[in-house]
Amino acid sequence: MAKTIVVKQIGSPIRRPAVQRQTLIGLGLNKMHKTRELEDTPSIRGMVAKIPHLVEIIEERG
């Protein structure tokens, strides 16, 4: 079974640079307090690290 992480959006993309908005969309998040279960890969970790003020890792599984 692959490792996964649960990511939650905690910040609004309003008045944020377009690159940060696109990163949220790339993670599958677009509304406040939404959560997604994603594969724990270096690319996903890098995207989360780019916008730590907008998302948080709730849980690591696997």
What is the pLDDT, as a whole number, of residue 54? 98
**Which pLDDT tens digit goes with each residue over 47-56?**
999 999 999 9
Are 36 and 29 contacting, i.e. CB atoms less than 8 angstroms apart? yes
**Which pLDDT tens digit goes with each residue over 27-40?**
999 999 999 999 99
Could you tell me the fold of the domain covering 4-61? Ribosomal Protein L30; Chain: A, (3.30.1390)
